[in-house]
């Protein structure tokens, strides 16, 4: 009796490790993706889940009484560039930033808008309800899923780690948080826990099917016993090859750089304070450690799902919960990577699924005003990775509502992410029906690197 190699991989991995990791390692051994020369080793997405207010952060409009709000503009290190008054840290580092003020698209919905920014592709229509837009295997792959598909990480490391928590609200799971139609073997690792908690530890790192690091050892021992039995029916060469894949998968999960990256207690108290002793700051400190581990894509969810969705109580929330810890953490990340010689090989992107309305008004039934969903004009900020700092790219009208220059789309951010990591954004992949489809339909944002204003 003999088994085909594919069958062995299915037996040896999917049934026991739960995530098909052995099959993944086998595919990596055969992978030979071609693409542009990588600009960076890592991309850090600082995701303002819910939609951060571009007007109160990076595109203030002091001359519009309707738009201005409670915050005044402050000068930055870049001549002619002004930020909101609570963004003091990033203002002092504006010479390292490219501020794109002409982001725009037409989707004011959280879930499908999030799908677009986390995958670089618009969500395929499945219905109008939020449940229709919840996480689904027909969705486009997240960045890490596609990276793993085309350019598997060396040494068995995952291509994406998402921190500090998944975006889940009740029965809704935000889309583009896994590899979609590429399948679970390309899914990212998802951390679950507050990195600012004294109880935070690597055991909070979960496999896609919920297998903990502690339970992995038992499954591994069982898998080894089954492998020993298969030795009697398989040729020594085939089994040894299979064991190599299994060993690599186990090593990735049980030890090594990935595990060490989450040992925040190895950081000095001064460093932890530098980032801010809060969930946002410590999430960005974890991002720096994952950059050091050479994880290609690191998604930092700045708060629980929709944290930045400030329909109500907008200005007090911005003043206390949202802007200061984000400003401090991102500033510390830029400085820390620069000090360690890692900024040039790391692209940092700070953006939400959309911005907030220029107008300030209460929701129906509410008394405290806020800003609401606004995808028609907003800001994305870039740093590191060869980006030319001190740039103001694009502009919105006097109220911050619409671009008056060439607009950029989330798909363009996606194209830029892929090219930066050495993947041709127009590479073809197969959907669930086996049809060839382009990975991305955007255009690389070359202006980030050339300095030609758009």
Q: Which domains does the chain have, with CATH numbers?
A: 1-32+213-261 (no CATH), 41-201+269-450 (3.40.720.10)
Q: Are 9 and 22 in contact (CB under 8 A)?
A: yes
Per-residue model confidence (pLDDT) at position 15: 33
Q: Is the pLDDT of residue 153 over 90?
A: no
Judged against a pLDDT cut of 70, whether residue 250 lies above it is answered with: no
Nearest to 445 by CA among 436, 437, 454: 454
- ω into 164 cis (within 30 of 0): yes
Least confident of 248-252, 289-293, 295-299: 248-252
pLDDT of 35: 84
Average model confidence (pLDDT) for the chain? 85
- Between the CA of residue 248 and those of 223, 385, 420, what are the distances in Å? 14, 30, 27
Per-residue pLDDT at 244: 45
pLDDT value, residue 146: 97
pLDDT tens, position by position, 32-61: 446 899 999 999 999 999 999 999 999 999
Tokens 């219905």 found at = 127
The predicted model gives 262-282 an average pLDDT of: 97
In tens, the pLDDT along 110-130 reads 999 999 999 999 998 888 899
Residue 395 to residue 160: CA distance in whole angstroms: 32
Furthest-apart CA atoms within the chain: distance in Å: 80
pLDDT at position 364, please?
84
CA–CA gap between residue 399 and residue 291 (Å, rounded): 38
Residue 453: the pLDDT is 64
Q: CB–CB of 202/145 below 8 Å?
A: no
What percent of the chain is modeled with pLDDT above 90? 70
Report d(CA 185, CA 129) in Å as an integer. Answer: 29
pLDDT at 141 over 60: yes
Which is nearest to 400 in space by CA: 356, 363, 362?
356
pLDDT of 66 strictly over 70: yes
Higher-confidence position of 24 and 222: 222
pLDDT tens-digit profile of 295-324?
999 999 999 888 999 999 999 999 999 999
Residue 210 reports pLDDT greater than 70: no
- 110 contact partners, CB below 8 Å, separation of at least 6: 50, 51, 174, 306, 309, 353, 373
Given pLDDT bands bounded at 50, 70 and 90, which one contains residue 451?
A: confident
Tokens 């950059």: give the residue. 291
Mean pLDDT, rounded, for 50-75: 97
Burial bucket for residue 158 (CB in 10 Å: 0-12, 13-18, 19+):
buried
The pLDDT tens digits for 216-238 are 555 445 445 555 555 554 444 44
Report how far residue 242's alpha carbon sits from residue 5's, in angstroms, rounded to the nearest whole number: 8
pLDDT digits (tens, 9 = 90+) for 391-432: 999 999 999 999 999 999 999 999 999 999 999 999 999 988
């Amino acid at each position: 009796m003999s088994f085909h190699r594919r069958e062995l991989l299915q037996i040896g991995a999917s049934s026991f490790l739960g995530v098909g990791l052995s099959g993944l390692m086998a595919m990596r051994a055969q992978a030979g993706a071609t693409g542009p020369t990588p600009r960076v080793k890592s991309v850090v997405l600082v995701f303002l889940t819910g939609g951060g207010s571009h007007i109160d952060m990076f595109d203030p409009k002091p001359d519009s009484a309707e738009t201005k709000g409670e915050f005044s503009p402050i000068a930055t290190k870049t001549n002619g560039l002004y930020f909101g008054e609570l963004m003091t840290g990033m203002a002092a580092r504006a010479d390292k930033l490219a501020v794109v003020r002409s982001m725009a698209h037409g989707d004011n919905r959280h879930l499908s808008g999030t799908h677009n920014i986390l995958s670089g592709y618009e969500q395929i229509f499945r219905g109008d309800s939020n449940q229709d837009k919840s996480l689904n295997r027909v969705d486009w792959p997240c960045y890490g899923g596609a990276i793993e598909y085309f350019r598997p990480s060396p040494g068995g490391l995952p291509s994406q780690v998402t921190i500090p928590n998944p975006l889940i609200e009740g029965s809704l799971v935000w889309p583009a948080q896994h590899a979609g139609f590429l399948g679970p073997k390309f899914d990212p690792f998802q951390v679950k826990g507050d990195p600012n908690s004294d109880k935070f530890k690597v055991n909070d790192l979960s496999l896609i099917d919920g297998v903990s690091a502690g339970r992995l050892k038992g499954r591994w021992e069982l898998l080894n016993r089954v492998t020993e039995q298969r030795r009697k029916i398989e040729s020594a060469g085939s089994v040894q090859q299979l064991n190599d894949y299994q060993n690599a998968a186990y090593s990735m999960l049980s030890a090594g750089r990935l595990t060490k990256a989450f040992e925040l207690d190895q950081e000095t108290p001064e460093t932890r304070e530098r980032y801010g002793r809060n969930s946002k700051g410590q999430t960005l400190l974890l991002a720096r450690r994952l950059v050091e581990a050479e994880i290609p894509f690191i998604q930092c969810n700045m708060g629980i799902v929709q944290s930045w969705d400030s329909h109500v109580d907008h200005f007090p929330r911005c003043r206390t919960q949202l802007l200061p810890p984000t400003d401090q953490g991102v500033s510390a990340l830029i400085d820390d990577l620069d000090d360690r010689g890692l900024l040039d090989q790391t692209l940092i992107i700070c953006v939400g699924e959309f911005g907030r309305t220029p107008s300030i008004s209460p929701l129906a039934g509410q008394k405290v005003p806020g800003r609401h969903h606004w995808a028609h004009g907003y800001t994305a900020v870039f740093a590191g990775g060869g980006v030319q700092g001190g740039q103001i790219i694009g502009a919105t009208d006097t109220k911050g509502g619409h671009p008056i220059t060439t607009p950029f789309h989330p798909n363009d951010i996606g194209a830029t992410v892929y090219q930066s990591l050495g993947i041709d954004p127009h590479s073809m992949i197969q959907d669930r029906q086996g049809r060839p489809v382009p990975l991305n339909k955007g255009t690389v944002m070359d202006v980030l690197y050339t300095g030609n204003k758009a």
